[in-house]
Structure 1
Amino acid sequence: MSFPIRHRLEYWSARVLAALVRLLPLRLGWALGAILGQLAFSIVRVRRRVTMENLHHAFSESRSHRELTKIGARCYRNLGRGLVEFCRFPSLTRRNLSRILEIEGLEHCTRGLAQGKGVIILSGHFGAWELLSPAFGLLVSRHRRQVGIAIHRIGHTPWGVVRSLRRNRLVIILADQDGGRDGIFIPFLGRLASTARGAARFAMETGATVLMSFVVRQPGNRHRLIIHPAMEIPRSCNREEDLFEILKTYTQCLETYVRIYPEQWFWPHRRWKSRPPADDPAAPT
């Protein structure tokens, strides 16, 4: 299979940029990422418009346009820092990761893995989300002898997720993107947002432990990985209501983080793109 020359140039340009970023001291790389993010906020007008529309819908009653613009700019600077962190993954070691990462709630992960049915990590495009995989990889390597598992980042195949959970592995799901017409509409930041059913279905059908977890950016380019206690999975006679309750619990948790740290969520995404049919209920009653 051949690729257009433009795609090859983009690919190799990205590879070269990533290699150059890895050569920089970490603090200098973060500063460069923040500058690139600020430039993107100023130049990429389409995504800036989406960002500002989303922010106004979520916070217009409590924040001025000027405040929201500052939040949008900080969001992009954080995205730039995240890009630098992603580029540095190949050179990331347990030692330098533990220097910038504080972990809270590790016992919930250990307890879940001890059940032997795998653990679903429900998270979102929040904070330093790209650090989720290496962070949990660090946790796994620390406790490999006790629980005998390995980290697995999910792809797009449901069977791959199920197989990983059956092998008592960690599966990370970022569940905060638009779920399309087939999603379940959950209240999020004052509007109904279509949310994909997959994470809730895996939780109900596999018996895996479900933990909500987020990596919060801290001052000084440090991070705090917060792991919440295991979610209670409802098992009533109404499957659709159970799916709704699982996704509502997750969405409410995410919203709490977004309201506290609004600059750390991925506002350029069209989260509310899909709309519920006017003649259908938004959720089970």
Structure 2
Amino acid sequence: MIGLIRALFGALRLLGRERSSDLGGWLLRSVSPLIPVNKVALANIRAVFPEKSEAEVKAIARGAWENLGRTAAEYAHLNTLFDYDYHNPGKPSRVEVAGIEHFIALKDDEKPGLIFSAHLGNWELPAICAAAYDLETTAVFRAPNDPAIASVVHEIRSGAMGGLAAAKQGAAFAMQGVLEKGGHLGMLIDQHFTRGVVVPFLGRPALTNPILGKFVRRFECPVHGVRVIRLPNQRFRLELTPPLDLPRDAAGEIDVAGAMAMMTAVVDGWVREHPEQWLWMHRRWRPNMIGSAALADYEKRGPVKPAFKAT
């Protein structure tokens, strides 16, 4: 099986980056109505955007499938996908980077740091960008369920990124070790986490992993968000936010649930801006898993305040 996956990626490399991306996007966009989990995507979109027509809902879903297909095909070209030269920002490239001053500050402040992201555009690019800037970063990832695909994807990621940490039992200790050494952690925070804290996301309560909130409470380090926007003509834009001004409790320490709510609010805005580039087919909202006490605490917390520090 691994040989077959490697042969597939080899064929995509021969096809070229642009044509591979186009093929992957066209394929998943075309077959998406036949994929059972497309019903999950449509239901999620309808719930978040009740004002949209059925045609608009289906267009967003097809766009999300196309983005997923493009991202999957682009794994074959992951080590050449990022071509922005921050030493020569005027040089033509397929990638734009906004907030480069924050990347530089993270690299030079001699402190640990946290970077959160979401499944938008090609979500592998931020870790590649960090490696290109020599920013010591460990990307926390969830391996694909299929062992053969997981093996090949890990091999590809290892050649294009910095450190990698699999999101599995015991991973928290490895992540903590990165921060204790002054390194940086990058993590996607837009997926369901059964043992998570309840946060508002796209108008509904959702469970999210609290690990970044716990780490910032312990290490008092800067927290940034980074997103990828897929642009026309096979181009991308990376945007790194300023550091977030996270909420604190009465003792002056970071409020973990409030911190995760604020990070999620940033992701909320990203998804609303480019809904056709997010992973709607994930079962993000699972109200039956939220206990009454957690829901009461969520409702008591109220609206999320602005996220960014004044500059």
User: TM-score range with shorter-chain normalisation?
Assistant: 0.7 to 0.9
Which position in structure 2 is the counterpart of 1:104?
A: 98
Matches within 5 A, 1:196-215: 196-215=209-228
Whether the aligned pair in 1 keeps the contact of 2:217 and 2:253 (CA below 8 Å) is no
Do the aligned partners of residues 241 and 167 (structure 1) sit closer, same or farther apart at CA in structure 2, a change above 3 Å counting?
Answer: closer
Shift in Å, 1:91 = 4.9
With over 3 angstroms needed to count, the CA separation of the structure-2 counterparts of 1:93 and 1:277, relative to structure 1, is: closer
Work out whether 1:277 is the aligned partner of 2:286: no
CA contact (8 A) 1:113 1:168 kept: no
Note the alpha carbon deviations across 1:189-230, whole angstroms, 9 max, x for none.
111010111111111112332111101111112111100001
1:94 Cα offset (Å): 4.3
Deviation of residue 234 (structure 1)? 3.5
Normalising to structure 1: TM-score of the pair? 0.85
Instruction: Please state whether the residue corresponding to 1:272 is helix, strand or coil.
Output: coil
Gaps of 5+ in 2: 87-91, 137-160, 302-311
Judging changes above 3 Å, is the alpha-carbon distance between structure 1 residues 93 and 173 closer, same or farther for their aligned structure 2 residues? closer
Q: Would the alpha carbon gap of residues 126 and 239 (structure 1) be closer, same or farther in structure 2, given more than 3 Å must change?
A: farther
Higher deviation after alignment, 238-247 or 219-228: 238-247
* Correspondence for 2:178: 164
Letter in 1 for 2:132: L
Question: Which residue is equivalent to 1:66?
Answer: 55
Cα drift, residue 235 of structure 1: 3.7
Q: Secondary structure at the match of 1:233?
A: coil
Asked whether the 8 Å contact 1:152–1:164 carries over to 2, the reply is no
| Correspondence for 2:38 | 48
Q: Is the 8 A contact 2:102 2:240 kept in 1?
A: yes
Mapped partners of 1:179, 1:238: distance in 2: 28
Q: Closer, same or farther in 2 for the Cα pair 1:154/1:119, shift >3 Å?
A: farther
Cα RMSD of the aligned pairs, angstroms, is 2.5
- Matches of 2:164 and 2:241, distance apart in 1: 19
1:154 to 142, 150, 165: 165
Residue 167 of structure 1 deviates from its aligned partner by 2.7
- Tell me how far apart the structure 2 counterparts of residues 216 and 199 of structure 1 sit (CA, whole Å): 23
| 5+ residue gaps, structure 1 | 1-8, 143-149
Equivalenced residue count is 266
Q: Which residue of 1 aligns with 2:13?
A: 22
Q: 1:238 to 1:21 in 2, by over 3 A?
A: farther
Q: TM-score, normalised by structure 2?
A: 0.78
Q: What is the alpha-carbon distance in structure 2 between the residues aligned to residue 110 and residue 257 of structure 1?
A: 23
SS of 1:171's equivalent in the other structure is strand
The amino acid across from 1:89 in the alignment is L
Q: 1:34 to 1:259 in 2, by over 3 A?
A: same
Paired letter, 1:162: Q
